Amino acid sequence: QVQLQQSGPGLVKPSQTLSLTCAISGDSVSSSTAAWNWIRQSPSRGLEWLGRTYYRSNWYHDYAVSVEGRITINPDTSKNQFSLHLDSVTPEDTALYYCAEGRDAFDIWGHGTMVTVSS
């Protein structure tokens, strides 16, 4: 079955870039039916969808307005994974970050990575 394995640092300094990776097993990042998402969760903002990447003959990306301009989600076909890069982070970006698969519903989730933004 499909599994997602997250990796990345748990502590990021303010103004720096948060970078996380989600490795996929049991499916392909280039699947024409899948969508690969990043979602975060914090007490103040609840569950917040950040964005997704998906392949439909071409690569597409959608991002939440709240982080647009700071976020990049990239597929890596050579490693069958996708990544999240969030620039210019502030303490408000402190959250539990999840990767998840799904277009309409999220039925496969990574284990989550707690990221704290602090100097």
Partner 1 sequence: DIQMTQSPSSLSASVGDRVTITCRASQNINTYLNWYQQKPGKAPNLLIYAASSLQSGVPSRFSGSGSGTDFTLTITSLQPEDFATYYCQQFYSTPPVAFGQGTKLEI
Task: Mark residue 97 as left, alpha or beta (left: phi above 0; alpha: psi -120 to 50; beta: remaining).
Answer: beta
Q: Which of residues 93-112 bind partner 1 (CB under 8 A)?
A: 98, 100, 104-107, 109-112
38 lies in the binding site for partner 1 (CB under 8 A) = no
Which position among 62, 70, 85, 87 is part of the footprint of partner 1 (CB under 8 A)? 62
63 lies in the binding site for partner 1 (CB under 8 A) = yes
Stretch that binds partner 1, among 14-22, 25-33, 57-65, 79-87 (CB under 8 A): 57-65
69 lies in the binding site for partner 1 (CB under 8 A) = no
The residue among 11 and 114 lying less far from partner 1, judged by its C-beta, is 114
φ/ψ of residue 91, rounded to 5: -55, -25
Type of residue at 113: T
User: Which residues of this chain interact with partner 1, rule CB under 8 A?
Assistant: 37, 39, 46-49, 51-52, 62-65, 98, 100, 104-107, 109-112
